[in-house]
Amino acid sequence: MSSHSTMHVRTAVTQAPACLRSAKVPCRASLQQAQHLVKCNFFGQSRQLGVQKQFVQQCRRPIVVKAEEKPVDAKIESVAQKETGSPQAGNNLTTLGFIATWYALNVGFNLQNKTIFNYFPFPWTVSAVHVVVGLAYCTVAYFLGAKNASFQRPITKSEFQTIAGPASMHAIGHVAANLSFAAVAISLTHTVKTLEPVFSVVLSKVILGQATPLPVVGTLVPIMAGVAMASAAELSFNWSGFISAMVSNLTFGFRAVWSKKAMTDIKDLSSTAIYAWTTLVSVLICVPGALIFEGPKLQAGIDAALKKEPNFYLSLLSVGLLYHLYNQFAFNTLSRVTPVSHGVCNVVKRVVIIGTSVVFFGNKLTDKTKLGTAIALLGTYLYTEATKRYKAQKPSEPASGTSFTPKTA
């Protein structure tokens, strides 16, 4: 606790009634008044410390203040720092761990999701199931006491409005991606979505005022070209799938940048909690959309799906959990890196998804796919090196307002 914060606690004690200061009689009214003074003086001017609750054990004993429990990602980083003996190494190890978990969950989701679409082509309904399962997960976790793994706390109207923008983009982008997955081969969707870092660069400049140096932007070209080459072997063009994938690019770009702004503006709400509230908003968008666009044909589609896959409902539940968890880790990663770096992680993730889908569905891995994968990975290395060199030449200024200090994975 800083000396400035301690001063406010001491001020609260000196302003308390005489019976409390003299510690002769444990007065209930005085005790309550001291608690109120601590709330006003301490919390009113030191909210960034994340203090949750306080208590006075006895009138003659000092005031004790309990700090709020650390978010899950902060706990993981603390353990990593102890194991590595270096704050920077611990930070990097935690970020890499989040990325690896995000990739693993995302691969499982994509394979399961595409399998479901093969016998149940209802993208709006599947999208709604994804977020409904996620909302149920967050709600159960919250009421079981795992608040830091879900909503964390109730939010104000102003905070809800801050989160609602990126949450809406998340919901629309999710539906658009599933429309594309249902309409075309998974390789085409992932090929088109390699343009996502470009959207992130433009939107970072427009919304956050964060300019990306031209050498760094240039390294995005081999990344996008490499993934396009890697997926071209399975390419099948469809205008509906193409346009849906482009809409997903645009809305996910807005989501990444606005979510970063929300994480900056809402200081005491973790990235996990922000995604939990994002899921709630997504349910309000996806469920009505599913009923409007697919409601009349839904029962017939379910009956047909159950004939092909008896464990259809279990498959929907599992794919919903995978979707929520992989996005939660994606948000955890976004809170630690720049939107452009997050977009690059998305591109490399697509290489991993294409590779695993080849193995899972028994597709042949062509030389073009192998070469494209190598080019994309080389582009990622060049991007990382260019970002480090730029930061070394021109250090970022401390975050203020809507800007933030970039981090690299």
CA–CA distance, 299 with 312 (Å, rounded to integer): 13
CA–CA distance, 61 with 82 (Å, rounded to integer): 34
User: By the 8 A CB rule, do 123 and 247 touch?
Assistant: no
Kindly tell me if the per-residue pLDDT of 96 is higher than 80. yes
Rounded to two decimals, the pTM is 0.67
Residues in the chain: 409
Q: pLDDT per residue over 27-64, tens digit each? A: 444 444 444 444 444 344 434 444 444 444 444 444 44
Kindly tell me if the per-residue pLDDT of 363 is higher than 90. no
Kindly tell me if the per-residue pLDDT of 94 is higher than 90. no
Kindly tell me if the per-residue pLDDT of 283 is higher than 80. yes
User: By the 8 A CB rule, do 16 and 33 touch?
Assistant: yes
Mean pLDDT of the 222-230 span: 82
Q: If pLDDT is split at 50, 70 and 90, which confidence band does 208 have?
A: confident
Q: Compute CA distances 66 → 2, 48, 143, 354, whole Å.
A: 14, 14, 22, 49
In this structure, what DSSP letter does residue 144 have?
T
Kindly tell me if the per-residue pLDDT of 174 is higher than 70. yes
CA–CA distance, 409 with 405 (Å, rounded to integer): 13
pLDDT given at position 71: 56
Mean pLDDT of the 131-157 span: 93
Residue 206 identity (one-letter amino acid)? V
Q: If pLDDT is split at 50, 70 and 90, which confidence band does 69 have?
A: low
Structure tokens at 192: 């088109």
Helical ranges in 120-195 per DSSP H: 123-143, 157-183, 186-192
Q: Compute CA distances 296 → 122, 284, 303, 400, whole Å.
A: 12, 19, 13, 50
CA–CA distance, 126 with 120 (Å, rounded to integer): 9
CA–CA distance, 337 with 379 (Å, rounded to integer): 18
pLDDT given at position 406: 32
Least confidently predicted of 68-72, 105-109, 157-161, 359-363:
68-72
Mean pLDDT of the 88-108 span: 84
User: By the 8 A CB rule, do 175 and 324 touch?
Assistant: no
Which residue spans within 73-208 are E strands per DSSP?
A: none
In this structure, what DSSP letter does residue 35 have?
H
How large is the angle between the packed helices 157-183 and 271-308, nearest 10 degrees? Answer: 30
pLDDT given at position 399: 38
Structure tokens at 214: 């031209």
Q: Which residue has the tokens 């499982």?
A: 108
Q: pLDDT per residue over 287-338, tens digit each? A: 999 999 999 999 999 999 999 999 999 999 999 999 999 988 887 787 777 7
pLDDT given at position 231: 66
pLDDT given at position 87: 67
pLDDT given at position 14: 44
Q: Regarding predicted confidence, which is higher, 61 or 344? A: 344
pLDDT given at position 172: 96
Mean pLDDT of the 172-199 span: 83
pLDDT given at position 128: 97
The Cα diameter of the chain in Å comes to 85
Mean pLDDT of the 273-278 span: 89
Least confidently predicted of 27-31, 128-132, 205-209, 333-337:
27-31
Tell me what percent of the residues of the chain surpass a pLDDT of 90. Answer: 29
Kindly tell me if the per-residue pLDDT of 286 is higher than 50. yes
Mean pLDDT of the 242-257 span: 86
CA–CA distance, 298 with 305 (Å, rounded to integer): 10
Map residue 265 onto helix, strand or coil: helix
When the pLDDT of each residue in the chain is averaged and rounded to a whole number, the result is 75
Q: If pLDDT is split at 50, 70 and 90, which confidence band does 134 have?
A: very high
CA–CA distance, 403 with 261 (Å, rounded to integer): 8
